């Protein structure tokens, strides 16, 4: 929520413009509220009662005498009614006019306009699909696979891929429910699904005087559930001719709807560099910082200037590609559950890696902030910049290693793996990257034998350093320690010897040298292992020999029979329950639907069985691990 508000406020301060933040009651101490000059509460936590509550926001505008509104992204940023109401009050909407929002916000109309403007489009049905049976008929005509998506949609909400009639019926039902709850509009359309494409978008900038520019592309192919995870600019895939062709089509579409402001035209690009118009986002994109890094333009400043009626200051030939920028979206999500299911909690420790050169962090939170079930789980956008892609990626590695987030589960382990993966490094990517590289889901970093030794040696050295600090060994003048360290259920006997800040650890006959300052109060520990520099964040559990020998008598927790017990995989609210005690269910049959952070998730039966008991009803709020339904 607050991330984009903080970003806009930063540019306003630079331009000498005073700002008013709006917030829900649970966000009253949010960062964007603190950095704005004034703040107004617009309602309780649920978005429909606060951030989507137009009456309350219009009142806040009147009350403060605000002259303009920057809608950020999400919420009301692409809502034509909101833009109309602002215009009626004589308040400037920092974005395009209502005609462009309406034309591009409707995926059906936008496709027709794109076709007329000679923009390449995907084969599909140019109309609203009435019901599930009509969806099946159209899908048959286009040919599977098809994509069913909300006409008013965006952000991966209300989208389903179907490979057969059954999936089309189910996809139609889910997409229309999700579209209704996310956008208040359940109209759907169907088009051919292009298998294995890249997602490449073009940033455009247009003024109210008929001039428009394209500011190069952003490669956004690394996605999960149609939401972007890692983005970069430029793309490794485009040659100058394809880039120019895409840029010119994007500008021609912007001109066709008399677009003014910053906007983004998204394309799907196949392996042969054919590109097809996907949609136009009539707002600032989440990933705009990477374009700012390679062009040197402040897009928020450009939007404000354009809204005020100024002409563009640049010509197309002025727009450079300087260097390379990469953005990682840092989410409060558990990456081990379908590449990221939302996680909630309080940030007990939070430290951004801003002391590193060429690192930018756009965030709207701080230590002590709460990540709640009401809003998007994004913590920040971590951006690194370099002269070359290699340099930008190396900086991203360091930045992720130096980012401290405690109190919520986060996706840094997944981001860290993606940016060093050979396929990603070589630029061999598509929107299928994550499911192809991790077909069984993300399991975390797989340690090599050398890394295991380094980790064990560091744990041992760290333990001894901590013990020495607490003076436990003071009476014992020996420089030798025997320790037992457990890693992944394996137990290792280690010998440690010390000389000043240097430790020599012997593991299975091999020696590892570990040295460092050992500042144990810091969340980050820079150390040298066998001459290589490493940055560590750590949690240790070390047992004395006696405790280690007794621990084998501790009873093991028996894993639960997950086929008979359905628990909520994340915190959220129950939208629907489709079974009652005594019902017979088939394997894969839907039992209930949980909504969390604006995404609906269908919970299905793991086996064919009778329903023994139901522990939730529609409207309930559930926590992660809460019991929903038991089968016999």
Per-residue pLDDT of 439-450, as tens digits, reads: 999 999 988 999
pLDDT tens by residue, 465-482: 888 877 655 555 567 888
Mean pLDDT calculated for residue range 579-600? 88
Paired tokens of 490: 């394996």
**Residue in this structure with the two tokens 């913590």, named with its chain if needed:** 379
Q: Please give the mean pLDDT across all residues of the chain.
A: 91
Res 155: pLDDT: 65
Q: What percent of the chain has pLDDT over 70?
A: 97
Res 396: pLDDT: 98
Residue 106 has pLDDT above 60, yes or no: yes
Element (H, E) at 422: helix 422-425
Query: Catalytic site residue 452?
Result: no
Non-local CB neighbours of 2 within 8 Å, separated by 6+ positions: 27, 30, 31, 32, 33, 364, 365
Chain centre to alpha carbon of residue 310: 34
Pairing of strands 349-351, 621-622: unpaired
DSSP annotation of 124: B
Mean pLDDT calculated for residue range 452-476? 81
Is the distance from CB of 50 to CB of 21 less than 8 angstroms?
no
Residue 11 has pLDDT above 70, yes or no: yes
More confident residue, 159 or 260: 260
Res 511: pLDDT: 95
Mean pLDDT calculated for residue range 200-207? 98
More confident residue, 171 or 181: 171
Tell me the CA end-to-end span of the chain in Å, nearest whole number.
43
Q: How far is CA 358 from CA 217, 234, 279, 382, 449, in A?
A: 20, 17, 32, 11, 33
Residue 339 has pLDDT above 90, yes or no: no
Q: How far is CA 201 from CA 2, 107, 247, 463, in A?
A: 25, 16, 9, 49
Paired tokens of 59: 């009142």
Helix/strand/coil for 483: strand
Q: Which of 364, 370, 371, 375 is nearest to 155 (CA)?
A: 375
pLDDT tens by residue, 486-537: 888 788 889 999 988 899 999 988 999 999 988 888 899 999 999 999 998 8
Res 492: pLDDT: 87
Non-local CB neighbours of 623 within 8 Å, separated by 6+ positions: 568, 571
More confident residue, 134 or 196: 134
Phi–psi pair at 71, nearest 5 degrees: -85, 0
Paired tokens of 569: 């995989």
pLDDT tens by residue, 215-233: 999 999 999 888 899 999 9
pLDDT tens by residue, 233-266: 999 999 999 999 999 999 999 999 999 999 999 9
Element (H, E) at 75: none
Res 471: pLDDT: 66
More confident residue, 394 or 177: 394
Res 600: pLDDT: 82
Res 472: pLDDT: 55
Domains and CATH numbers, the chain: 1-94 (3.40.50.20), 109-122+200-220+233-322 (3.30.470.20), 124-192 (3.30.1490.20), 324-439 (3.30.470.20), 449-552 (3.30.700.30), 565-631 (2.40.50.100)
41: number of Cβ within 10 Å: 16
Q: Which of 392, 374, 381 is nearest to 294 (CA)?
A: 392
Task: Check 283, 360, 453, 498 and give the catalytic one.
Answer: 283
Q: Which of 632, 600, 616, 620 is nearest to 174 (CA)?
A: 600
Paired tokens of 55: 């009456």
- DSSP for 499-548 reads ETTEEEEEETTEEEEEEE---TTSS-EEEEETTEEEEE--------HHHH
**Residue in this structure with the two tokens 């329950």, named with its chain if needed:** 577
pTM value is: 0.83
d(CA 316, CA 237): 22
d(CA 347, CA 369): 6
């Amino acid at each position: 929520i607050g991330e984009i508000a903080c970003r806009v406020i930063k540019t306003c301060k630079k331009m000498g413009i005073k700002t008013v933040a709006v917030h829900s009651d649970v966000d009253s101490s949010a960062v964007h509220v603190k950095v704005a000059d004034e703040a107004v509460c617009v309602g309780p936590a649920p978005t429909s009662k606060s951030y989507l509550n137009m009456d309350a926001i219009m009142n806040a505008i009147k009350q403060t005498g605000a002259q303009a509104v920057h809608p950020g992204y999400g919420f009301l940023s692409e809502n034509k009614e909101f833009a109309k109401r602002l215009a009626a009050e004589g308040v400037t909407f920092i974005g395009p006019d209502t005609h462009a929002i309406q034309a591009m916000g409707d995926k059906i109309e936008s496709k027709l306009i794109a076709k007329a403007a000679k923009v390449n489009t995907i084969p599909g049905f140019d109309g609203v699909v009435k019901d599930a049976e009509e969806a099946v008929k159209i899908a048959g005509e286009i040919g599977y696979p098809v994509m069913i998506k909300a006409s008013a949609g965006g952000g991966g909400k209300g989208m389903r891929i179907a490979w057969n009639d059954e999936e089309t019926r189910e996809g139609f039902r889910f997409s229309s429910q999700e579209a209704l709850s996310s956008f208040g509009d359940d109209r759907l359309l169907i088009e051919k699904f292009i298998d294995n494409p890249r997602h490449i978008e073009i940033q455009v900038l247009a003024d109210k005087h008929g001039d428009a520019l394209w500011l190069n592309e952003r490669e956004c192919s690394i996605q999960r559930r149609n939401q972007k995870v890692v983005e970069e600019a430029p793309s490794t895939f485009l040659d100058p001719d394809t880039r120019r062709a895409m840029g010119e089509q994007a500008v021609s579409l912007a001109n066709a709807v008399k677009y003014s402001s910053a906007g983004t035209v998204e394309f799907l690009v196949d392996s042969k560099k054919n590109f097809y118009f996907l949609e136009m986002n009539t707002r600032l994109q989440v990933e705009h910082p990477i374009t700012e890094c390679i062009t040197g333009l402040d897009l928020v400043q450009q939007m404000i200037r354009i809204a005020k009626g100024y002409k563009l200051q640049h010509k197309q030939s002025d727009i450079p590609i300087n260097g390379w920028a990469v953005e990682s979206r840092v989410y409060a999500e558990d990456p081990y559950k379908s590449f990221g299911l939302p996680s909630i909690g309080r940030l007990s420790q939070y430290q951004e890696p801003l002391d590193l050169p060429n690192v930018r962090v756009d965030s709207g939170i701080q230590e002590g902030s709460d990540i709640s079930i009401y809003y998007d789980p994004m913590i920040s956008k971590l951006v690194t910049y370099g002269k070359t892609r290699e340099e930008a990626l190396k900086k991203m590695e360091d930045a992720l290693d130096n980012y401290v987030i405690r109190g919520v589960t986060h996706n840094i382990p997944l981001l860290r793996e993606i940016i060093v993966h050979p396929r990603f490094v070589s630029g061999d990517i598509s929107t299928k990257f994550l499911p192809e590289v991790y077909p069984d889901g993300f399991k975390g970093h797989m340690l090599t034998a050398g890394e295991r030794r380094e980790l064990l040696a560091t744990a041992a050295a760290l333990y001894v350093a901590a013990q020495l600090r607490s003076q436990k060994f003071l009476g014992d003048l020996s420089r030798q320690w025997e320790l037992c360290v457990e890693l992944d259920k394996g137990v290792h006997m280690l010998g440690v010897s010390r000389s000043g800040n240097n430790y020599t650890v012997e593991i299975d006959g091999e020696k590892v040298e570990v040295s460092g300052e050992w500042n144990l109060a810091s969340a980050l520990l820079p150390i040298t292992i066998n001459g290589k520099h490493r940055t560590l964040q750590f949690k240790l559990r070390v047992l004395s020999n006696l405790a280690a020998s007794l621990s084998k008598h501790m009873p093991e927790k028996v894993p639960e029979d997950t086929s008979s017990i359905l628990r909520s995989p994340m915190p959220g609210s129950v939208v629907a329950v489709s079974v009652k005690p005594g019902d017979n269910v088939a394997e894969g049959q839907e039992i209930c639907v949980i909504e969390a952070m604006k995404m609906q998730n269908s919970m299905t039966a793991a086996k064919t069985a009778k329903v023994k008991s139901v522990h939730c009803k529609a409207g309930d709020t559930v926590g992660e691990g809460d019991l929903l339904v038991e089968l016999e």
